[in-house]
């Protein structure tokens, strides 16, 4: 069994080289990892509130979200439980485009993502404001499934996937980094898979 895993990792490594962070193995399926149940938010009552250290609070409904430009990102995702999924295709509103709609105050240093169901995840502003980050609502050309965070989730692929908050309904800009849900249970504050920042 151990040998089997080792030889599989070696094969993954040969195929994907440096794209695969240390300690990760490639999966073909897409595991669902949720603490608790799947909250149901229909696109009719979905709202995203952008608040905290912003000049003016903003609330987006589904129509307002989907009226913003749509960006497609193809990349790999890495879960702290050691699976990686390669070449995933997500689409949604890029965080860069979203940030054009709000004026973030200069003292903001971090973002707390809030979700239907109560989950939270913290990100430094520099980790949040990156080209490939999305408010994702399409996966492989189809509406994002409820189990995977549909109608809309955060997509931050350069960090372990627990930072990609599912069923996101709030983005709160804050002056200093604060622990979110898993971070309070000992997960790393940042979660960079390339540095294996799994636990703090």
Ligand X SMILES: Nc1nc2c(c(=O)[nH]1)N[C@H]1C(S)=C(S)[C@@H](COP(=O)(O)O)O[C@H]1N2
Catalog residues that contact Mo ion under the rule CB under 5 A: 33, 79-80, 162
Of 79 and 125, nearer to Mo ion (C-beta) is: 79
Residues that bind ligand X (CB under 6 A): 30-35, 79, 115, 117, 119, 148-149, 161-162, 164-167
Q: Between residues 67 and 145, which has the closer beta carbon with respect to Mo ion?
A: 145
**Residue 168 pairs with which residues in a beta bridge?**
115
Is 164 or 169 the residue whose CB approaches Mo ion more closely? Answer: 164
Q: Minimal CA–CA distance to 154: which of 127, 194, 190?
A: 127
60 binds, among Mo ion, ligand X, none (CB under 5 to 8 A by kind): none
Q: How far is the CB of 23 from Mo ion (least distance, A)?
A: 14
Residue 65 binding result from Mo ion, ligand X, none, given CB thresholds of 5 to 8 Å by partner type: none
Binding partner at 166 among ligand X, Mo ion, none, C-beta below 5 to 8 Å by kind: ligand X
Nearer to Mo ion, 119 or 162 (CB): 162
CB of 52 to Mo ion, least distance (A): 25
Largest CA distance in the chain: 57
């Amino acid at each position: 069994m151990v040998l089997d895993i080792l030889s599989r990792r070696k094969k993954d490594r040969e195929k994907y080289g440096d794209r695969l962070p240390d300690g990760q193995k490639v999966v073909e399926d897409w595991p669902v990892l949720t603490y608790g149940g799947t909250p149901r938010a229909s696109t009719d009552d979905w709202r995203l509130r952008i608040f905290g250290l912003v000049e003016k609070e903003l609330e987006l409904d589904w129509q307002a979200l989907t009226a913003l430009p749509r960006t497609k990102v193809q990349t790999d995702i890495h879960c702290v439980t050691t699976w990686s999924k390669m070449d995933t295709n997500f689409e949604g509103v890029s965080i860069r485009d979203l940030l054009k709609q709000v004026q973030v105050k200069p003292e903001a240093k971090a973002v707390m993502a809030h979700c239907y169901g109560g989950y939270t995840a913290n990100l430094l502003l520099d980790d949040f404001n990156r080209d490939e980050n999305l408010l994702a609502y399409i996966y492989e050309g189809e509406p994002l499934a409820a189990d995977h965070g549909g109608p809309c989730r955060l997509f931050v692929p350069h960090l372990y996937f627990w930072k990609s908050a599912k069923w996101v309904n709030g983005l709160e800009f804050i002056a200093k980094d604060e622990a979110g849900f898993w971070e309070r249970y000992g997960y790393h504050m940042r979660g960079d898979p390339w540095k294996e920042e799994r636990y703090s």
